[in-house]
Amino acid sequence: MCGIVAAVAERNIVPVLIEGLRKLEYRGYDSAGVALLNPTLTRLRSVGRVAELASLAEAQVAHHGIAHTRWATHGVPSERNAHPHVSEGLAVVHNGIIENYAELKAELTAAGYVFTSDTDTEVVAHLIQHTQKTNNDLFDAVFATTQRLIGAYAIAVIQEWDDRIVVARQGAPLLLGVGEEGRYAASDASALLQVTRQMIYLEEGDVAELKRGSVRIVDRNHVAVERALHESSLSADAVELGEYAHYMQKEIFEQPQALAATLEMIGGAQSFSPNLFGTDAPELLAGAKSVLILACGTSFHAGLVARYWIEQLAGIPCSVEIASEYRYRVSVPHPDTLVVAISQSGETADTLASVKHAKAQGMMRTLALCNVPESAIVRECALRFLTRAGPEIGVASTKAFTTQLAALFLLAATLAKQQGHLSASDEAEHLTALRHLPVAVQNVLALEDDIRAWAQRFSDKHHALFLGRGHHFPIALEGALKLKEISYIHAEAYAAGELKHGPLALVDEDMPVVSIAPNDALLEKLKSNLKEVAARGGELYVFADADSHVDEEPGVHVLRLPEHYGLLSPVLHVVPLQLLSYHVALVKGTDVDKPRNLAKSVTVE
Ligand code: G6P
């Protein structure tokens, strides 16, 4: 979703802004723009890729500017709607949604301001300008403006003849960079690694003023505050493509090391310890009588797998809710519930709001399971577990998902132990299986050549069905999501037992049916479901285990994963589905890392 980069420095900051936008491209966008001060304002905007903006800005030199990639919310993707938006000599970039923009727009129109875009952001530019008429200083005017905004925003503002950048955040990410030659701001650290590793994370409601050599921050009450300086541990290489053609491919193949890094803390452990989840975890987890998992997208699917694990291992009830539904529905709160928010980015607006909603209902045992330290969801929760997948750039989530699963299994086993449900032999067995997981995933990646051949047969299809049972049903959901996200083939997933209650009507020779068939207790049931498909002329693509008794026959294609992996089998079985969608997308020639209409980090509702 929208990306912001801002810089004020001794050096020419135009290349810094453009490189920063390149690093934020993964968030998803449809247009881009910059505003530069010299000391008067130059604004350049373009629809499409940052590369186009880069050629427009090539000849520019400036020491002070703001830049933006826009993911359309209010108004179609077009140059007139692209940020920055201006009001006289003032320019603003914004990430988020201003919910009361219509009311503010009416007020500003009545005051004589003329709007040249359909965006909510232009309201912010005019409102700051208007506020300055009574509140002369830019910083004060931005602060006063934020008091009138309802919704989510991260903004950066510059004005002609003023040597500052003023930024503010509420409900959308923004961090500051402290460099040798200047001060910077961006939506995430990857955009600023080119100039500094020293980062300051702004808190909700903060407004900050950046000059070449200083930063001043006030909190939501206009009290001057110091925010801690963090050294980013993100490696610049981690966001480089290296030898890979796409980030998604790189991230699929990074899964063994991402899992190894995430599971490093249990390397020499003899038991599952609640301390893995934070200092207060022994007490907060021990008192949990049920678990409520909140998440969106792929993270929601990780939660669905975890429900099977938590109920089976720990014997406590677990529900999993789509965050955007939970936050608005009337539900029955239980104070002894452990609320688990799963989010790769830690910034997903609905997931964050759902945690706040749970807390407002008295559920204070909150655990963030995130991939980004210091993200909003991590800061909102009492407990945290950080997956160590490294930056995930491809919109279609892969390594974040498998590392979430590893972390959720740790949680399930830890809860089981606390409930007295885990025998010593099971504990040792689970620890061994977790330690071997990176190698097991590595072995599955070796199936790529076979999957590439299958992908050819999917590329001319318009629909596909994915079937799974038990804790592989969420893996079917995830496989279907991956395929539709990046290849634009309509795909649906069903619990295989549901097939005859509707989707079987769709099955014919044009409907590939992908089936996850591990060698578990449900295999025989699943085989009956597969016969139902074969009998209707459906083409079956079965991911079985080495020892599953599923045979190749006309219309039934079988690929075997190297070994059956028991409860952790979903971590292995999702990998070939990731590879399948990746290779189908390659054949179809879609934009794998930046699929149309989608964003990586969904910071608006
Ligand atoms: C977007 C991304 C998905 C992701 C979902 C939830 O839709 O494209 O890949 O699963 O958001 O994101 P989160 O960062 O909260 O896991």
| End-to-end Cα, the chain, rounded Å | 11
Ligand 1 centroid–CA 398 distance in Å is 10
Chain centroid, CA 583 distance in Å = 22
Atom of ligand 1 at shortest range from CA of 395 = 8
| Beta strand ranges found along 138-284 (DSSP E) | 151-159, 165-170, 175-178, 182-186, 198-201, 207-211, 214-218, 224-225, 229-231
pLDDT at 456: 93
Mutate to test the pocket of ligand 1, among 252, 305, 348 (most ligand atoms within 8 A of CB): 348
Token pair recorded at residue 163: 């040597």
Report the pLDDT value the prediction gives residue 152, as an integer from 0 to 100: 85
Report the C-alpha gap between 605 and 352 in whole angstroms: 10
Report, as an integer, the average pLDDT of 360-380: 94
Taking the C-alpha atoms of residue 17 and residue 467, their distance in angstroms, rounded to an integer, is 46
Average pLDDT over residues 591-602: 86
Q: Can you tell me the mean pLDDT for 411-436? A: 95
Give, using CA atoms, the residue closest to atom 9 of ligand 1. 397
Measured in Å, residue 298 CA sits from the centre of ligand 1 at 6
The pLDDT of residue 233? 80
Does residue 351's CB lie within 6 angstroms of at least one atom of ligand 1?
yes
Spatial neighbors of 260 by CB under 8 A, at least 6 apart, are 438
Flag whether pLDDT at 463 surpasses 80.
yes
Average pLDDT, the chain: 93
Atom number, ligand 1, closest to the C-alpha of residue 348: 15
pLDDT, average across residues 237-265? 90
Cβ(298) – ligand 1 distance below 6 Å:
yes
Taking residues 244-248, report their average pLDDT.
94
Please state, in angstroms and rounded to a whole number, the distance separating the CA atoms of residues 508 and 502: 14
Give buried/exposed letters for 353-371 (b at 16+ CB in 10 A, else e): bbbebbbeeebebbbbbbb
The reported pLDDT for the residue numbered 408 is 98
For residues 562 and 440, the answer to whether their CB atoms sit within 8 Å is yes
Residues 358 and 500: their CA atoms lie apart, in Å, by 37
Q: What is the pLDDT of residue 565?
A: 93
- pLDDT at position 50 is 94
Question: What is the predicted pLDDT for the residue at 11?
Answer: 95
Q: Is the pLDDT of residue 605 over 80?
A: no
Regarding the beta carbon of 404 and ligand 1, being less than 6 Å apart is answered no
Nearest residue (CA) to ligand 1, atom 1: 600
Q: To the nearest whole percent, how much of the chain has pLDDT over 90?
A: 78
pLDDT at 71: 86
Distance, in Å, from the CA atom of 537 to the CA atom of 369, rounded to the nearest integer, reads 43
Nearest atom in ligand 1 to 485's CA: 8
Domain 247-443 belongs in CATH node 3.30.70.3040: no
With 80 as the cut, is the pLDDT of residue 120 above it? yes
User: What distances in angstroms separate CA 170 from CA 133, 137, 144, 154, 341, one per listed residue?
Assistant: 24, 21, 14, 6, 20
Model pLDDT, residue 464: 95
Burial 64-80 (b: 16+ CB within 10 A, else e): bbbbbbbbbbbbeeeee
List the catalytic residue out of 105, 484, 527, 600.
Answer: 600
pLDDT the model gives residue 499: 86
pLDDT of residue 322: 98
Percent of the chain with pLDDT over 70: 100
| pLDDT confidence bin for 62, thresholds 50/70/90 | very high
Residue 345 alpha carbon to ligand 1 centre in Å: 7
- The domain spans of the chain are 3-239, 247-443, 448-588
DSSP one-letter string for 122-174: HHHHHHHHHHHTTS-SHHHHHHHHHTT--EEEEEEEEETT---EEEEEEBS--
Residue 505 has pLDDT above 80, yes or no: yes
- Ligand 1 within 6 A of CB of 472: no
**What's the average model confidence in pLDDT over 283-290?**
94
Query: Poorest-confidence range of 98-112, 252-266, 513-527?
Result: 513-527
How far is the centre of ligand 1, averaged over its atoms, from the C-alpha of 304 (Å)?
A: 15
In the prediction, which pLDDT does 260 show? 93
Q: Is 372 in the pocket of ligand 1 (CB under 6 A)?
A: no
Work out the average pLDDT over 320-347.
Answer: 96
Ligand 1 centroid, distance to 259 Cα (angstroms): 19
Q: Evaluate if residue 1 carries a pLDDT over 80.
A: no
- What are the beta bridge partners of residue 339? 292, 366
**Cα 535 to Cα 249: distance, rounded to the nearest angstrom:** 36
Categorize the per-residue pLDDT at 535 as very low, low, confident or very high, splitting at 50, 70 and 90: confident
Identify which has the larger pLDDT, 234 or 114.
114
Confidence of residue 298 (pLDDT cuts 50, 70, 90): very high
Task: Specify the pLDDT at position 15.
Answer: 97
Distance 301 CA to ligand 1 centre (A): 11
Phi, psi of 509 (to 5 degrees): -65, -15
> Closest residue (by CA) to atom 4 of ligand 1?
297
Q: Do domains 247-443 and 448-588 have the same CATH topology?
A: yes
Q: Which atom of ligand 1 is nearest to the CA of 295?
A: 15
296 Cα nearest atom in ligand 1: 6
Query: pLDDT band for position 549 (50/70/90)?
Result: confident
Residue minimizing CA distance to atom 7 of ligand 1: 297
How many angstroms does the Cα of residue 348 sit away from the middle of ligand 1?
7
pLDDT in tens, 259-271: 999 999 888 888 9
So what CATH class is 3-239?
alpha beta
Q: What is the CATH number of domain 448-588?
A: 3.40.50.10490
pLDDT at 266: 87
Question: Which range has the worst mean pLDDT, 211-220, 292-301, 305-314, 545-554?
Answer: 545-554
Ligand 1 atom with minimal separation from the 392 CA: 9
The residues, any chain, with a CB within 8 Å of residue 152's CB and separated by 6 or more, are 96, 97, 170, 171, 172, 349, 603, 604, 605
Q: Which of 2, 296, 370, 381 is catalytic?
A: 2
403 in contact with ligand 1, CB cutoff 6 A: no
For residue 555, the model assigns a pLDDT of 85
Q: How confident is the model at residue 537 (pLDDT cuts 50, 70, 90)?
A: confident
Closest among 465, 482, 31 to 248, alpha carbons compared: 482
Q: Is 2 a catalytic residue?
A: yes
For ligand 1, atom 5, the nearest C-alpha belongs to: 297
482 in catalytic set:
no
Question: Is the CB of 121 within 6 Å of ligand 1?
Answer: no
